[in-house]
Amino acid sequence: MKSKTIVAVFMLMVFWGQQGLSDRIVDMESEPANLESNKHCFSCHGERFYTFENEFSGSIERKAMNPNFIYNPDEFYQGVHRHFSCTDCHSPDYETFPHNAELRLDMMFSCMDCHGGDDTYAQYNFDLIQDEFYKSVHADRHFETFDCWSCHDPHSYRLMTRDNFRTAEIVSYHNQTCTECHQNPDKYQLVMDGEMPLLEDIHSFLPNYNLHFNAVRCIECHTSPQDTMWVAHNILPKEMAVKNCVECHSTNTLLMSSLYRYQAVENRSERGFFNAIILNDAYVIGANRNQFLNIASLVILGMVLLAMIGHIILRIIK
């Protein structure tokens, strides 16, 4: 009885601990603080075409916007920095057009400039994430061209795992972060000059590529998850990637400590299956065996053995 109480108290502590993880800092409900003032920048950087008055000729010119410089206002206002003005991160001199060419030499802020050593964001483990990032293949090989912004689009980065998104939505968002570059030579070759291998070809060892890539994230196989970190950031060299099917297709599936840890606490519904919460989204062969069937098969095996022993004894007596 006593040990059960201890277990119950421990579970509650874990539950509260995890609940605390989803305390958002940014107010996601109210109107964005700089909605009006950002409209000026979005009038050009939210559109495929822009117009401006030519000072010399006095005429109105219509031009195509560089597609890499177009941002979706809806995505911007769903992101973590939704209350920002464009000029909080960019020089206020961008208000004038044509922009001063020297502005492009400005140093950009890094995440750590604003978040490093700030206790307000302690729950996000910025310092640990930075350490892990430095160890990753990307930072290790391409320090000059690869930084936090390479994955965290400054104009749309949002928190998914801490909100109530379905697993499928989390998978799709996370994988997009990787495929936006790994399936796009224009972005990939911005990091390094070299051919971009095709993801389908690399992962041909998986029997059903699309099914798997819609059900698990790249980081499930390409990082080793850490307890203190909500999202693993150390992308390991390809030789260390998970190739063994049993890592997921078994009762102690790695999915429970990575992808399904976000839900493992909230939707604790046992239903007699191993790793039952996965069943909300997928049936993973080997990971979702039914406990009752397991017990039943043991009982049947025992009865068969008994019958055999009885049979042997009867034969000996005879």
Of 250-289, binders to ligand HEC (CB under 6 A) are 255, 282-285
52 forms beta bridges with 61
CB of 97 to ligand HEC, least distance (A): 4
Q: How far apart are CA 154 and CA 69, in angstroms?
A: 12
Piece of the chain touching ligand HEC by CB under 6 A; list 101-109, 266-274, 294-302, 309-317? 101-109
Q: Which residue has the tokens 């001063």?
A: 100
Q: Which of residues 59-88 bind ligand HEC (CB under 6 A)?
A: 65-66, 68-69, 71, 76, 80-81, 83-84, 86-88
Q: Between 61 and 301, whose beta carbon lies closer to ligand HEC?
A: 61
Nearest to 217 by CA among 247, 281, 164, 173: 173
* Shortest separation between residue 7's beta carbon and ligand HEC, angstroms: 27
* Rounded Cα gap, residues 136 and 234, in angstroms: 5
| Residue 143 touching ligand HEC (CB under 6 A) | no
Phi and psi torsions of 222, nearest 5°: -105, 5
Torsion 21-27-29-32 (CA) sign: negative
Q: Counting contacts by CB under 6 A, is residue 174 touching ligand HEC?
A: yes
| Distance separating alpha carbons of residues 13 and 301, to the nearest angstrom | 40
Which residue's entry shows tokens 């604790």?
Answer: 268
Q: Which of 35, 77, 187, 264 binds ligand HEC (CB under 6 A)?
A: 187
Q: How far is the CB of 65 from ligand HEC (least distance, A)?
A: 6
Q: Are 121 and 159 in contact (CB under 8 A)?
A: no
- Going from the C-alpha of 158 to that of each of 63, 181, 302, the distances in angstroms are 31, 18, 54
Task: Enumerate residues 287-316 that contact ligand HEC by CB under 6 A.
Answer: none
Handedness of CA 142, 143, 146, 148 (dihedral sign): positive
Nearer to ligand HEC, 156 or 291 (CB): 156
Nearer to ligand HEC, 266 or 296 (CB): 266
Nearest-Å Rg of the Cα atoms of the chain is 27
SS3 content of the chain, % helix, strand, coil (to 5): 50, 5, 45
| Contact mark string toward ligand HEC, 5..24, x via CB under 6 A | -------------------x
* 194-253 positions binding ligand HEC, by CB under 6 A: 197, 199, 202-203, 205-208, 211-213, 215-216, 218-222, 230-231, 233, 235, 237-238, 241-243, 245, 247-249
- We find the least distance from the C-beta atom of residue 313 to ligand HEC, in angstroms, to be 45
171 is a site residue for ligand HEC (CB under 6 A): no
- Which of these ranges, 54-62, 125-133, 292-300, 310-318, lies near ligand HEC under the rule CB under 6 A? 125-133
Torsion of CA 114, 116, 118, 120, to 10 degrees: 70
For 117, left (φ over 0), alpha (ψ -120 to 50), or beta? Answer: left
The stretch among 40-48, 263-271, 297-305, 308-316 that binds ligand HEC (CB under 6 A) is 40-48
Among 175, 234, 263, 275, binds ligand HEC (CB under 6 A): 175
Q: How many of the chain's residues bind ligand HEC (CB under 6 A)? A: 107
